[in-house]
Amino acid sequence: MDGIDDENTFLLDDELHSDTDISSNYLDYSSDDSCSELSSDEDLSSAKIFTEVDVKNPPVPCPRFKFSGIPSVHVQFDDTSDVLQFYETFIDFSLMSKIVEETNKYAKQCIQSSVARQFSKSKFWVETTVEELHVFFALNILQGIVKKPGIDHYWSKRYSTNTPFFSKIMSHCRFCLLQRYLHFSDNAAFDPQNHKCPKLVKVWPVLKHLNEKFSETVTPERDVTIDESLMLFKGRLGWKQFIPLKRARFGVKCFMLCESISGYVWSIIIYTGKDTILKPEYSKLCFSSQIVLTMMEPLLHKGYCLTIDNYYSSPELADKLVSCRTDTYSTLNLKRKEVPKEMQKKKLKKGEIIAFQRGKVTVMKWMDKKKVSLLSTIHNTEMEQIQVRSEMKEKPKIVMDYNNTMGGVDRMDQNLKSFEIIKKRGKKCYRKIFFHIFDIAVWNSYVVYRKNGGKNTQLEFRLDLIDRVIEKYHSGLNFHRGRPGSEPNPLRLTERHFLEIIAPTDKKLRPARQCAVCCSKRNENGKRIRKETRYFCPDCDVGLCITPCFKLYHTQKDF
């Protein structure tokens, strides 16, 4: 593959960042239909020779193309405080129905084709439902927050590590059965000759559905970025990748088109070697250019500005994007075709810069601690003053803008790392791919929630989402969403509960607690009623009067 890193010829992305992270404003040149020095799009693509730029008196930078996109969220939400609505925008009923259908079908095929052992869990299999699978996914999200060495530990009875919530929601046996038979496509209907991507057949319905949902739900801001993300997988796989600079190093490579500012994932292509799905009209270009143009195709001719790294960028690709009224800037591999040879040969001292221009495309090399090679359709060699510790230094404006807009995919990766659902020891690659895509769908739900004015952190969003899924799907009943004295218990309306007397302590012979129902009411003066009781519900851990409060608390949403 092209774009193999060569330390002597181009700079890695993390080397672009300065000693300080002082941010700079995004470029916002006045919109125009063409470069200020050229009269038409034909002129932009017809200029084939790079000419050296006088860096002491550089030409005016070419303005951005006129942006015709309308950045927005295309889904209306009844209650923007209800996180479940954002989640179900992507993980909707049609997708869940498909997964339920294929899971039940696959379980039946497996059980019929094998002889179960005497104590096999498969003997306890019953068909799953949409509601149960929602709860199963909620527990997987919770496992991404509450980290344990293995699945069995979540149902452990050991006092020091016990997490009783899991066993109250679903038995260990049932969770393992759902995990074993989770499936997304019909094996019997698979035709390798007619399928778009045979290597991804097992997750294809999910990938196709979510890609459509991602692009339908949000129109991205003008600045977008394309980069690769690596999903950790060390099992046997013909198209497994090794990228030493990534944290995972080994795994499945995904190309992602993201909104630069928010990190919203707009499109995903999973790399499967020669079978990677790309547009046939770009087949004459190099692989990296095909990736860019395939992912950007719906956004071309709208004035978007794409930030990429040196794996993808080239003068040829920049010309193609300019002909499609799309701007770009990036780091650059000096060994690419059409890059002036003088760029490679010329020796620079620290702080010096050299540049060449061809139509709207400018390539430049700037010497910092190491040489930095760059390409842009909207920048010249203009420098900006930045403060590094106690002194002022100069840095090209393109470097400042690149650092601000290139991090969309990395931002998503960093945010997901803390709440990753993917199990470390999963043997089935297609299930790991599914949970990786599912994780991205949860992340996109959070980004859309923030775009609609949400203030919670991602952790709070995920915890609220788990509560809402349990509330809605565990038994079809809801729980109180007001401001109780303690955290709401999603099981208070869905379980069998028994009243117990509060045990005496060393300090109190007859201890009492405030009644949760009585104290939720106010008297005629508007003050909260205070009433204590000797009884409590041990499962919900709240004090309750024997009658009528115990019954009200466990049977009514609003008491």
Please state the three-class secondary structure of 493-552 as a single string: CCCCCCCEECCCCCCCCCCCEEECCHHHCECCCCCECCCEECEEECCCCEECCCCCHHHH
Number of structural domains the chain divides into: 3
Both tokens of 202, joined, read: 């097992």
What stretches of 348-396 show up as alpha helix (H) in DSSP?
A: none
CA distance 18 to 284: 38
Q: Provide block-wise average pLDDT over 10 residues at a time, the chain (559 residues).
A: 38 39 35 38 58 85 90 89 93 95 92 72 86 94 91 89 90 91 87 80 93 94 91 79 74 91 93 88 90 94 94 92 94 90 86 90 90 92 84 88 86 82 72 92 95 92 94 61 48 68 86 88 79 86 87 76
The pairing of strands 513-514 and 383-388 is: unpaired
Based on the domain organization, do 470 and 521 belong to the same domain? Answer: no
Based on the domain organization, do 102 and 64 belong to the same domain? Answer: no
Within-domain flag for 530: yes
CA distance 331 to 376: 9
Hey, what amino acid is at 280? P
Q: Is the peptide bond before 61 cis (omega within 30 degrees of 0)?
A: no
Q: The domain spanning residue 287 has which CATH number?
A: 3.90.350
Quote the strand ranges of 178-311, DSSP E: 218-219, 223-232, 241-242, 250-259, 265-270, 305-308
What pLDDT is recorded for position 1?
A: 41
Within-domain flag for 324: yes
Residue recorded with tokens 């193609």: 320
Based on the domain organization, do 405 and 356 belong to the same domain? Answer: yes
Q: Kindly report the length of the chain.
A: 559
Both tokens of 370, joined, read: 């190491």
Helix axes 315-323, 287-296, angle to 10 degrees: 20
What pLDDT is recorded for position 342?
A: 86
CA triple 212-217-221, angle to 5 deg: 110
Distances (CA, A) of 474 to 132, 393, 468, 494: 7, 59, 10, 8
Question: Quick one: 350 exposed, middle or buried, by C-beta within 10 A (0-12, 13-18, 19+)?
Answer: exposed
CA distance 169 to 495: 10
Which candidate, 335, 324, 319, places its Cα nearest to that of 285? 319
**8 Å CB contact between 530 and 514:** yes
Based on the domain organization, do 407 and 376 belong to the same domain? Answer: yes
How many CA atoms are closer than 13 Å to the CA of 539, on its beta-carbon side?
A: 18
Within-domain flag for 485: no
Long-range contacts of 237-245 (CB under 8 A, 24+ apart): 237/429, 238/199, 238/273, 239/199, 239/271, 239/272, 239/273, 239/275, 241/271, 245/5, 245/12
Based on the domain organization, do 99 and 175 belong to the same domain? Answer: yes
Q: Which helix (H) or strand (E) holds 492?
A: none
Based on the domain organization, do 52 and 127 belong to the same domain? Answer: no
CA triple 272-276-279, angle to 5 deg: 170
Within-domain flag for 387: yes
Q: Which helix (H) or strand (E) holds 363?
A: strand 361-367
From 419, 435, 450, the end of a domain falls on: 419
Quote the strand ranges of 188-249, DSSP E: 218-219, 223-232, 241-242
Residue recorded with tokens 């990748």: 241
Both tokens of 127, joined, read: 């068909």
From 440, 475, 510, the end of a domain falls on: 475
Based on the domain organization, do 62 and 154 belong to the same domain? Answer: no
How many CA atoms are closer than 13 Å to the CA of 9, on its beta-carbon side?
A: 15
Both tokens of 130, joined, read: 């949409």
Residues 6 or more apart from 402 whose CB is under 8 A from it? 16, 307, 329, 330, 331, 374
**8 Å CB contact between 495 and 507:** no
Within-domain flag for 354: yes
Q: Tell me 25's DSSP state.
A: P
Based on the domain organization, do 269 and 397 belong to the same domain? Answer: yes
CA distance 343 to 513: 78
CA triple 283-289-292, angle to 5 deg: 110
Within-domain flag for 30: no
Q: What phi and psi values does residue 142 have, to the nearest 5 degrees?
A: -65, -35
Strand partners, 363: 356, 375
Residue recorded with tokens 């005497």: 118
Chain centre distance of CA 110: 33
Within-domain flag for 35: no
Residues 6 or more apart from 116 whose CB is under 8 A from it? 122, 123
Based on the domain organization, do 273 and 166 belong to the same domain? Answer: no
CA triple 390-391-392, angle to 5 deg: 140
Based on the domain organization, do 59 and 173 belong to the same domain? Answer: no
Within-domain flag for 200: no
Strand partners, 392: 387
CA distance 373 to 366: 6
**8 Å CB contact between 539 and 491:** yes
Question: Quick one: 14 exposed, middle or buried, by C-beta within 10 A (0-12, 13-18, 19+)?
Answer: exposed
What pLDDT is recorded for position 255?
A: 93
What pLDDT is recorded for position 557?
A: 64
Based on the domain organization, do 227 and 165 belong to the same domain? Answer: no
503-520 CB burial, b ≥16 within 10 A, e <16: eeeeeeeeeebbbbbbbb
Domain coverage including residue 511:
500-555
Based on the domain organization, do 291 and 378 belong to the same domain? Answer: yes
Question: Quick one: 152 exposed, middle or buried, by C-beta within 10 A (0-12, 13-18, 19+)?
Answer: exposed
